[in-house]
Amino acid sequence: MSLTYEERRQTILAQLSTEGKVQVHALAGRFNVSTETIRRDLDRLEKEGKLRKVYGGAVQTRSERIEPTFIKRSEMHRSEKQAIGKAAALLIGDGETVLLDNGTTTLEIMRELKERADVTVITSSVPILACALEGFQGKVIFAGGEVNMSCQAATGATAHQLLDQMKVNKAFISAGGISLADGITEYSFEEALLSRKMMQRTEESILVADHSKFGVTTFAQIAPIEHISMIVTDRGCPQEWIDALNKLEVEVLIGGKN
């Protein structure tokens, strides 16, 4: 018995989420239906705004190119980010030096480290620096340079040169999107370059991202997924993503999981 449209729809969207694209002939073989049926399915999904048709198949609809403001992002999925921040902070051992890139989820890590006098934090993020100045018991180093007012972080050559002089235990990287096809991406090219530099200056790179980032591609690539050792996310992370990450030998830690 052939699958219904709704059943095909769920499978198509799941494949788009993990792989970023689908092909008409492959789907027709998978579902044992005609290519005309698949093309009609893709037509319907395109009208729903779920994908964009291309020659021979379809690709995932790209996210908006303009990143929401830092304040607006800090309110989005706030409870999930707090759970991720708590789980990520527990990964930091006594006496370790860590890098926190500029993000609302990495900001939650900083909040969890307030009482840790044995930790050194290096960051290019102005909000994270401001948070550290509100009673952080450890040491904070600002990877300075010209401050980009739109993203509230230092970027450019000076920040890169300072990071080149350091080697740290862990780097916690945030992202605008995560895709198997396009890797870990960010809205800002300058921020993506700085996060990539942080990954080069650490023993272990850990991605912190809530479930809304999976299956999304933004403007600038930070790195392929295989370049990180772990993703800390929330309970909303789809199971197909957990399975796909495990195949890539990337550990998945769920924040707030009982």
Q: What CATH number did the domain enclosing 173 receive?
A: 3.40.50.1360
- Tell me which residue range forms the domain holding 46: 5-60
Mean pLDDT score across all residues of the chain: 89
Same domain, 233 and 137: yes
Q: What is the mean pLDDT of residues 7-13?
A: 87
Domain count across the chain: 2
Residues 40 and 102 in one domain: no
**Is pLDDT above 50 for 1?**
no
Biggest alpha carbon distance in the chain? 65
Do 123 and 171 lie in one domain? The reply is: yes
In a domain, 65, yes or no: no
pLDDT of residue 202: 97
Instruction: With CA atoms as reference, report the closest residue to 118 among 97, 87, 99, 141.
Output: 97
Residues pairing with 177 in the sheet = 185
Same domain, 141 and 121: yes
Predicted TM-score of the model (pTM): 0.77
Residue 50: inside a domain = yes
149 in the same domain as 105:
yes
User: Is the pLDDT higher at 37 or at 180?
Assistant: 37
Question: Among candidates 238, 164, 170, which has minimal Cα distance to 206?
Answer: 170
Are residues 76 and 54 both part of a single domain?
Answer: no
Give me the numbers of helices (H) and strands (E) for the chain, helices first please: 10, 15
Looking at the structure, tell me whether residues 79 and 173 fall in a common domain.
yes
> Long-range CB contacts (< 8 A, 24+ apart) of 128-132?
128/100, 128/102, 131/107
pLDDT of residue 63: 56
Task: Give residue-wise pLDDT tens across range 17-52.
Answer: 777 788 999 999 999 999 999 999 999 988 887 888
Residue 44: CATH number of its domain: 1.10.10.10
